Amino acid sequence: MIQAIGLTSISRKDLPPAVDDVSFEAHASRVTALLGACGAGKTTVLRLMLELQQGRGLTCFRGRPLHRIARPAQEVGALLGDVPGHPAHTVREHLRMLSAAVGVSVRRADEVLEAVGLGSLRDERLGTLSRDTDRRLGLAGALLADPHTLVLDDPAHGLSAREGRWLHGMLRAHAAQGGTVLFATRDPKEAARTADRVLTLDNGRIVADQETADFARTRLRPRVTVRSPHAVRLGTLLANEGSAAQRSVEVVHEAGNRLSVYGSTCADVGETAFRNGVLVHQLTDEIGDMGPRAGAAAAPPRPGEALEPGGPSSLPPPIGVRPAPGPLRPLRYEVRRATGTGTGYRTAAAVLVISALACLLLARIGHTPQHRLLAAWPRELPLPPAALGAGLLGAHTFGDEFRHPVLAGPRGDVPRSLGLLAAKLLVAGFAAVTLALLAAGGDLGLLYLLRGRELAEVPADWPFFAASWFGLLVGCAWAGVLAAGIFRSTSAGLAAVLAVPVLVVPLVQKAWGQSLRAAADFSARMHGPAPLRWPFAGERCLAFLARVIAQPVGSALALSVTALLCAYLLATLRSRAR
């Protein structure tokens, strides 16, 4: 059951609020329609209910507001607008990713695909789906966690008549199983066909709360639908007979040979056609469009009497935009998000090709140190190609989500969750290490095949260079992740990676030059003739760490990642404080 109490949006300037003191109830095992024309405030009501928009009021789902429910997706399934998702994901990958986000088994994705009739389209990309298929997928996402309540915003808009009937059948089936269904629509005929109860919204206020039978009788115009090959002649005859009998008969010529006759009955229309020898192919009674001034026929209800303990005059509590919860299984979610598109694979392939070409060019030119040759890092570039690729992969982890929101639920926003951040850092770090191995191994093998054994030698101090290589790529990937998460952009993440050698390194060298020289001297002393003896080879670890810190790029990258991490944590705390 849904209880909405005093929902009021925040007005702008001197304009009245889009929604003003809206209160209603939607009961379990029933379908409730929220009917209104464009601009009546339907979407605003739903967003206030789901705490996606600031305002005043309270909405309880089975007695609890949404922010008091531990797992909202398992209580409320919502579909507002188009299906959020990366267009390169397949239908099955998208639902499996959402399964990890809402904490249900991966088998649930296949079950709902079959339930909504998309089993044969599971390998289709989201960017290629038609409008009908898109709405089916949206309903599948709403049903994924088996919620008790469904909240849908104009779900049948733009669908064919066949798809609309299927969608309405699914809503009726959910209500028949004991669930609560609330959907907004602009079509009064859709509300009359599908809902058990119709709430009419006009200018941000509830103007009628009626059972479907009462709604169809008092707020819709009955009509007679006629199909005839002589539709024009029959329409003229019906209009003339209505005028002669002083009855208000309105004849509307529809597409083709179809007539809509208002103010008459099937018997009268059939007798007129028979007397005049007009062939009739169809003659039925239907519920037509809303009549003129339908909104003025019913008086607004007084919802505050039953729903608000304090009475209509009490001020409803404020509604704040709640931060979106993170995925319940963040690592599984992030792996499926990252592997579901070809962006990472294409980026890695381009990096390996560029790194190989740069390595061969440096070998041909000569005078390049062996560790820079294997990394394909000319002195003219601030970072090697593999490091730039790792930074781009890291920036995509958050950047793609802000361009194509994919988290479960209706919020359409990427949460600042520490669990999600840890998962992204772990996946981005693994991708960076894999890219480091492939780039260095590929360059080494290519040099051995094309340039001979002399240029393919491994440096004597290879552990230090290997650790520095892995640390450089992982640090660039993490800088891209954190910067994209803070600034909500892939470009910002890549810019932060490029800023490390261009801006941060000169500042570190200028400000901490003496400290870096001291770290280098300490490393040399640890390798001296009489080094200090630490248990478990501790002196080697300290010397190794000192050498890494003494590198300008390493120290600048560590400083940048630390600063970005602190900024991300501060933004997370601020969002939670609101």
User: Is the confidence at residue 202, as pLDDT, over 60?
Assistant: yes
Higher pLDDT, 402 or 545: 402
User: Is the confidence at residue 35, as pLDDT, over 80?
Assistant: yes
Lowest mean per-residue pLDDT among 69-83, 342-356, 446-460: 446-460
pLDDT of residue 541: 59
pLDDT of residue 87: 87
pLDDT tens per residue, range 79-127: 987 777 888 899 999 999 999 988 999 999 999 999 999 999 999 999 8
Helices (H), strands (E): how many in the chain? Answer: 21, 15
User: Is the confidence at residue 396, as pLDDT, over 60?
Assistant: yes
Q: What angle do CA 157, 214, 285 make, to 5 degrees?
A: 70
Residues 143, 179 contacting (CB under 8 angstroms): no
Nearest Cα neighbor of 400 from 85, 59, 22 is 85
300-305 long-range contacts (CB < 8 A, ≥24 apart) are: 300/205, 300/206, 300/207, 300/208, 301/206, 301/208, 301/209, 303/22, 303/23, 303/24, 303/206, 303/209, 304/6, 304/21, 304/23
Percentage of residues of the chain with pLDDT beyond 90: 45
User: Is the confidence at residue 408, as pLDDT, over 70?
Assistant: no
pLDDT tens per residue, range 148-172: 999 999 998 888 888 999 999 999 9
pLDDT of residue 272: 92
pLDDT of residue 15: 82
pTM attached to this predicted model? 0.78
pLDDT tens per residue, range 497-549: 999 888 888 887 777 655 555 555 545 544 554 444 444 444 555 555 556 55
User: Is the confidence at residue 449, as pLDDT, over 50?
Assistant: yes
Lowest mean per-residue pLDDT among 310-314, 472-476, 561-565: 310-314
User: Is the confidence at residue 311, as pLDDT, over 50?
Assistant: no
